[in-house]
Structure 1
Amino acid sequence: MSRRYDSRTTIFSPEGRLYQVEYAMEAISHAGTVIGIQSNEGIVLAAERKVTSKLLEQDSSTEKLYTIHNNMVAGVAGITSDANYLVEYARTQAQQYYFSYGEEIPAEPMVQRLCDLKQSYTQYGGLRPFGVSFLYAGYDEHHGFQLYHSDPSGNYAGWKANCIGANHSKAQSILKQEYKEEGLSLHEATALVVKIMTKLMDTATLTSDKLEFATLTRGGEGIVHHIYTPEEINQLLKEQGVLAETDPDQMED
């Protein structure tokens, strides 16, 4: 019976469901995992990089982590083409705000603008929902460091720690058990992220070709966002004791 209602985003089923939005959620549940943890010193983001073929030429660019503006980094899970469009839209909104007011856009208004666009694609005929979820690591002077999650419906919420993509339920269970109410240091948050990614990816060892990593912290001259290079990721994994030592190309001296 659902076939009578799932071909349009603007038609509710008798149970009050929008099937196209649910299909978008299902697409995200099969995407690479993205984890975000807010610490007392900043925010850590990590994403699973899925290697589709050994013949594909790999470069140092990221596929799942993006810089929105100087005070915000986002991780995406879902359809990459949809994510690219939304990231460019968010960057444009951030630059327009900076041009108008001479300062970086606060974290929640930035998320809200992006979610308004995502929600509009669920209420007009001829459009489909964006098949992508975001984890936003942001900072502003009003509320400090903030971690937000948004889904294809346009809903968003603030979190201390969250996971999207494949195995998100398992990751959230681990986070509930190991996240401290008083918060974590940046080092503890980094260690927890690596530990969870190791468990979710069913491997005892990780390398930079399987993982992307970013931090948003306070530096000497203000807020610093840093997306790690492959060499930095390998060094981080080596410090955590999970780097694949059987692969000499991934080892650091």
Structure 2
Amino acid sequence: MSRRYDSRTTIFSPEGRLYQVEYAQEAISMAGTAIGILSSEGVVLACEKKVTSKLLDNDGSAEKLYIINDNMICAVAGMTADASILVNNARINAQSYLKTYNEQIPCEILIKRVCDVKQGYTQHGGLRPFGVSFLYAGYDDRYQFQLFTSNPSGNYSGWKATSIGANNSAAQTLLKKDYKDDLTLKEACELAIKVLSKTMDASNINSEKLEFATLSLSKVEEGKVIHKIWNDTDVNALIQDSGVLNDKSTEDD
């Protein structure tokens, strides 16, 4: 009987559900894990890389990490084609606000504008929801460092640490266990590596399977936000320094 209600986003089932939105969320649960961790010194985003072919020439660009403006970056889980549309929308909104008010757009205002677009695609016939969830890392003068997540329904919420994508429940459990409010940026990076190493379906982890980005304040120029998408060499060095490889070899023994 429920099959009558799952072809359009505008028709509720007798239980009050929108099946197309749930299908979009199911598509996200099949995507690689993405983790965001808020620290006292910045925000860390770490993603499981699904496309690992050595033949792929991506010019060093990330598969699941995007720079939105000078103060915000994001990670995605789900359909990257859908993500590209929404990231472009976010960039246009950010630059429009900067042009109008001569200051960077506050994080939550930008996220709300993108989520309004996502919600609009759940209430019009002939459209389908965007099959992608986002982790937003940002900084503004009022609320300092912030971490938000949003889903295909248009909902968004702020977090200290969270995850999206595959093995979401396991990652959340590990984050609840090990997260502390006074984490440094380095400790947050190590925690992200630790959680991904235990949730990814891989015997060992390296830069071919991970993407990493951080957002922090410059120690030289006051108030300047620095966002960095890490290269393969830096990611491998971080994995080595975190001791995850040693921990995994001990577990195997």
Task: Work out the number of aligned pairs and report it.
Answer: 243
* Mapped partners of 1:13, 1:21: distance in 2: 12
1:203 Cα deviation after fit:
3.6
Structure 1 residue 53: Cα displacement: 4.1
Q: How many Å separate the matches in 2 of 1:54 and 1:215?
A: 25
Q: Unpaired runs of 5+ in structure 2?
A: 247-253
Q: Does 1:32 align with 2:28?
A: no
TM-score by length of 2: 0.92
State the 1:109 CA deviation: 0.2
Provide the residue aligned with 1:249 in structure 2.
Answer: none
**TM-score normalised by length of structure 1:** 0.92
Q: Distance in 1 between matches of 2:171 and 2:244?
A: 18
Q: Residues 141-181 of structure 1, C-alpha deviation per residue, up to 9 Å, x if partnerless?
A: 0100000000000000000000000001000001111112x
**Structure-2 change in CA distance of 1:201 and 1:15 (3 Å):** same
Query: What is the identity, as a one-letter code, of the residue corresponding to 1:91?
Result: R
1:151 paired residue number: 151
Counterpart residue number, 1:229: 231
SS at match of 1:209: coil
CA deviation string 1:83-124 (max 9, x = no partner): 011111100110000000111101000100000000000000
Deviations 1:2-55 (A, max 9, x none): 111111100000100000000000000000110000001100000011136454
Matched, 1:140 2:140: yes
Given that 2:28 and 2:133 are in contact with CA atoms closer than 8 Å, whether structure 1 keeps it comes out as yes
Give unmatched runs, 5+ long, in structure 1.
245-253
How do residues 20-169 of structure 1 correspond to structure 2 at under 5 angstroms?
Answer: 20-51=20-51, 53-57=53-57, 59-169=59-169
Look up the equivalent residue of 1:128 and give its one-letter code: R
The residue aligned with 1:250 is none
Q: Which 10-residue stretch deviates more, 5-14 or 216-225?
A: 216-225
CA distance in 1 between partners of 2:130 and 2:121 (Å): 7
Q: Which residue of structure 1 lines up, in the alignment, with residue 16 of structure 2?
A: 16
Residue 178 of structure 1 aligns with an amino acid whose one-letter code is D
Q: Which moved more, 1:182-191 or 1:209-218?
A: 182-191
Say whether the 8 Å CA contact 2:52–2:208 is kept in structure 1. Answer: no
Aligned-partner residue type, residue 227 of structure 2:
H
Shift of 1:201: 1.2
SS at match of 2:122: coil
Sequence identity of aligned pairs in percent? 61
8 Å contact from structure 1 (residues 20, 128) kept in 2? yes
8 Å contact 1:213–1:228 — kept in the other structure?
A: yes
Name the SS for the 2:32 alignment partner. coil
**Does 2:243 align with 1:241?**
yes
Distance in structure 2 (CA, Å) of the matches to 1:183 and 1:118: 34
| 8 Å CA contact retained: 1:205, 1:242 | no
Structure 1 residues 97 and 6: alpha-carbon distance in aligned structure 2, compared to 1, 3 A threshold: same
- Shift of the alpha carbon at 1:131? 0.1
